[in-house]
Amino acid sequence: MRASLSLRAGLVSALLLLAFLTVWHVAVGGTAKTEAMDPEYAALMGASATTGKSAMPGPLDVAVTIWRHLKDPFYDRGPNDKGLGIQLAYSVGRVALGYLFAVLVAIPIGFLIGMSPLMSRALDPYIQVLKPVSPLAWMPLALYTIKDSGLSAIFVIFICSLWPMLINTAFGVASTRREWLNVARTLEVGPLRRAFTVILPAAAPTILTGMRISIGIAWLVIVAAEMLVGGTGIGYFVWNEWNNLSITNVITSILVIGLVGMVLDQLLARAQRLVTFPE
């Protein structure tokens, strides 16, 4: 029965989903006791007070919203009303930029730290102090110096992606097996070629682990950062829909954020598998 494990797991997943949706549907669908009231007052109070309908949307409401977003993800009706696709594109773009800069900085510096015990010790105190700082704590400083909210969000992504990559690169480089380095040395391979042909492939799985952690953190942070800076992005969208009291949109966003995060993680996981070597 081993072969059908994934089938059974899928079945259990589907059942759990069904149960969850049912409970959700029943919980929000129930009508509470209502009192007779003046029609004008009733109009002000809305459906939750007049018909006893819960303010919490049910799964069907959310499904309708999702369908609506899927049909037209890229509409643009002014600064406060853009399609989910556009908002996601902003967020993914910011994460990509900040993350890319972090890669460009973290990997060379990680190499330096990993190869030079002197630099490792010299930079260690800074890394130890800066690493635990919540990336959002940088936001005011970024806003003050950069004076651009979009760039500030990118900077925050840069900062939060930096540390896992930096630390993992340094660790991966420093733990390159001595015998592989000796192979390169006996072949009179120069430092640059050695870095690319021995150290980089040897450290690549560790570096990719760091990159995978970083992309996860970056995607966590972008939502919070965009709530702060506003304007565009999925984080801003969530906050804006909360202000609009559109809980269906908030729930839809949560789902979409989760899905995009999963896709980003899976991309990095695939890259990681490509560079991992069996020993």
Partner 1 sequence: MATLLPFRSAPTPPGLPMADDKYLSIEGIARRYPAPGGGSTTVFENLWLPMRRGEFVCMIGHSGCGKTTVLNILAGLEAPSEGVVIADGREITGPSLDRAVIFQGHALLPWRTVLGNVAYAVSSRWRSAPRAEVEERARRAIATVGLAGAEHKRPAELSGGMKQRVGIARALAIDPKMLLMDEPFSALDALTRGTLQDEVRRICVETGQTVFMITHDVDEAIYLADRIVLMTNGPQAKVAEIVENPLPADRDRAALHHAPGYYALRNHLIDFLVTRSRTFRDDPPAGYDPRHPPVVRPTLSDADATAIAAARRA
User: For residues 144 and 277, which CB has a smaller minimum distance to partner 1 in the complex?
Assistant: 277
Can you tell me which of 180, 195, 260, 272 binds partner 1, judged by CB under 8 A?
180
185 binds partner 1 (CB under 8 A): yes
The CB-of-5 to partner 1 minimum distance in angstroms stands at 27
- CA angle, residues 274, 277, 279, in degrees to nearest 5: 165
The CB-of-166 to partner 1 minimum distance in angstroms stands at 23
Q: Which stretch binds partner 1 (CB under 8 A): 68-76, 103-111, 114-122, 195-203?
A: 195-203
- CA–chain centroid gap for 216, Å, is 5
Total binding residues for partner 1 by CB under 8 A? 18
192 binds partner 1 (CB under 8 A): no
64 binds partner 1 (CB under 8 A): no
Can you tell me which of 19, 23, 118, 187 binds partner 1, judged by CB under 8 A?
187
The CB-of-187 to partner 1 minimum distance in angstroms stands at 4
What is the end-to-end Cα distance of the chain in Å, rounded?
32
Q: Which stretch binds partner 1 (CB under 8 A): 68-76, 180-188, 214-222, 232-240?
A: 180-188
- CA–chain centroid gap for 143, Å, is 21
Could you give the CA distance from residue 197 to residue 184 in angstroms, rounded to a whole number? Answer: 9
User: For residues 121 and 177, which CB has a smaller minimum distance to partner 1 in the complex?
Assistant: 177
272 binds partner 1 (CB under 8 A): no
194: tokens are 């050695």
The CB-of-202 to partner 1 minimum distance in angstroms stands at 8
Contact 223, 257 (CB under 8 A): yes
Sign of the torsion formed by the C-alpha atoms of 234, 235, 236 and 238: positive
Give the residue among 28, 65, 64 at the shortest CA–CA distance from 48: 28
Q: Give burial (CB, 10 Å; 0-12/13-18/19+) of 248.
A: buried
Binding site for partner 1 (CB under 8 A): 179-180, 182-183, 185-189, 197-198, 201-202, 204, 275, 277-279
